[in-house]
Amino acid sequence: MTTTQNSRPAPDESGGVPERPTGGTAAPLPGEAGQVSEKEARQVAEAARESTWDRPSFGKELFLGRFRLDLINPWPCSDAEADARAEEFLGRLREFLTTEVDGAAIERDARIPDEVFQGLARLGAFGMKIDPAYGGLGLSNLQYCRALMLAGSVSPAIGALLSAHQSIGVPQPLKLFGSPEQKQRFLPRLAAGEVSAFLLTEPDVGSDPARLATTAEPTEDGTGYRLNGVKLWATNGTVATLLVVMARVPAADGRRGGITAFVVDGDAEGITVERRNEFLGLRGLENSLTRFHDVFVPKENVIGGEGKGLKIALTTLNTGRLSLPAMCVGAGKWSLNVAREWSAERVQWGRPVGEHEAVAQKLAFMAATTYGMETMLDLCCRLADDDRNDIRIEAALVKLYASEMAWRIADDLIQIRGGRGYETAESLAARGERPAAVEQILRDLRINRIFEGSTEIMHLLIAREAVDAHLSVAGDIIDPDAGLGRKARAGARAGVFYAKWLPTLAVGRGQSPRAYAEFGPLAGHLRQVERASRKLARSTFYAMSRWQGRMERKQAFLGRVVDIGAELFAMAAVCVRAHAERDDHPENVELADLFCRQARVRVDALFTSLWDNTDSVDVAAAKRILAGRYADLESGVITPPADLPWVTGWSAGPSTATDVRRRIPPSR
């Protein structure tokens, strides 16, 4: 529900993989917000995405059928000195979370106490990713994610607070795009404990940023802008004193305009926090509906220049997305601990329940998958900490994979715990039993499949990157707006590219029974990954040849392609990690083997369903459902009242609501 679910430019909800802009240049932005066309929405998304690949990407190569194991093997090392400094901080954080934070009270009261904010500020937790030159701790992505994992295990609301503040809030965009003056002006405040938020989503703007309606009108004297609009689902919005706000600057003579990122003072005149939103989980989340009415923002607060807002959001999320899987990994570890201890102690039918095959399968899945998620995250963090790598695909894959798998793990945990899994921790404690908050972790995890790009949108975003090489050489062939000349030139380019590429998909190293022998018992899994990556590339090419321009509508097919890629990425990662740690942690070789065996079953099923499925039947049925053909099926129940709209409209103007913002007193 954080605004980052929409911060990566995305296709509109009815479309698929965005079109490649014509002529090789960024497409113009729509002149006005509102009901833009499908083509305009895609052009906005395409213009914002990073179009070049000037650094290596394991994920990109994998989808092209090129298994570049050398990009992740040997297992990347982190800086030992920096790790030692981080461990000292993590120790202090652990002590604070253990002794000063009551996660149950946060859940019960739906509020993180002021004292917790103040304690986190004293520790420097609000400056974990901020450079020491500005008062921060300067943690690596790897150690930052470990800190989030630790915090989230005590209270997922605290994990979300710290993540939204640093991964997508003011610190990260300024780190990447801010001017020296902006960094000096804002970062010390944030490192000292002020909270930031990111505001993009609007009541009627979800994954389609082309329809953004918040405006930033330049003032006549040229000193700044006037912001007007309403922003929804701003995590930290009720407590933030500094905001990143995305607003549309109107185009004019000499001014291209477009969606622009601003740093806005949270206490500026004209800002009203109209309500704090409440959710299924993350009950301590400070999430707002915020109105801007003629809010003045000085021109010095523009980040990166006019019209750069969506590109800034996209680039920020290349690493910002890693915070969410960190908390999913933490949830997997927590769930595995509860499941293991309970399954060993609880006896049914004369044996511990964990020895019954039905439960044993769940335990094996939980252990293997937690190891897989952790490995993917660790690898992505280590690659992100090395500027020589492009991790846009890898970070998106781990976000997608971890959010889906953590949900399955939590669901299995409830099943293992039975009635006690459905019972609240408070009720368990009242009966004198260990208060394992299993039902809460399921509720808290559910949003991760929506946060920072829903699963459906993530499938399309990753698929767009996966087919980028094809669109780069052959996009004009399937572009209905391309003329004969462009199509002819594209045909020539495609002929050269495919003449070299297609033969590489026929035979590869994975067909040799001695390949990857240095990995010992895991070698067979790496051979399978190599063969499967080529098969995946062949399947994608065949689909593009078969459907051409209609490929963008094959969202279910594209989703399966991405899911296969995620499993192959995870398999490769666990094999490399387990091999690197085999002397110190020989048990990890067993976990890697277990994970790969399970993943291969899933991959086989996904390959089968690429072509053996009910996709076309489902789409046809959905059209009839939307037309009301089966509406009689809904009779016999009392449905929600229809006197209110599904999406509330809004109009510019001063707020008529009571301001509900919360300000945290400074630490004494």
Tokens representing 660? 């509900």
Task: Tell me whether residue 306 is one of the annotated catalytic residues.
Answer: no
Closest of 547, 551, 539, 552 to residue 611, by C-alpha: 539
58: amino acid identity, one letter: F
Tokens representing 150? 């630790």
Asked if residue 195 lies in contact with residue 161, where contact means CB atoms within 8 angstroms, the answer is yes
Pairwise CA distance, residues 301 & 317, whole Å = 21
Quickly list DSSP for 372-389.
HHHHHHHHHHHHHTSTT-
Look up tokens 């990753």; give the residue.
462
Cβ-Cβ contacts under 8 Å for 21 (sequence gap 6 or more): 27, 43, 46, 47
Pairwise CA distance, residues 409 & 365, whole Å = 8
Report the first-to-last Cα separation within the chain, whole angstroms: 33
Pairwise CA distance, residues 192 & 587, whole Å = 42
Pairing of strands 302-303, 258-265: antiparallel
N residues, the chain: 668
Contacts 24+ apart (CB under 8 A), 611-618: 613/556, 615/554, 615/556, 615/557, 618/556
Pairwise CA distance, residues 537 & 162, whole Å = 39
Asked if residue 369 lies in contact with residue 409, where contact means CB atoms within 8 angstroms, the answer is yes
Considering the candidates 40, 394, 452, 567, report the single residue annotated as catalytic.
452
Q: Tell me the backbone φ, ψ of residue 233, rounded to 5 degrees.
A: 60, 45
Annotated catalytic sites, by residue? 452
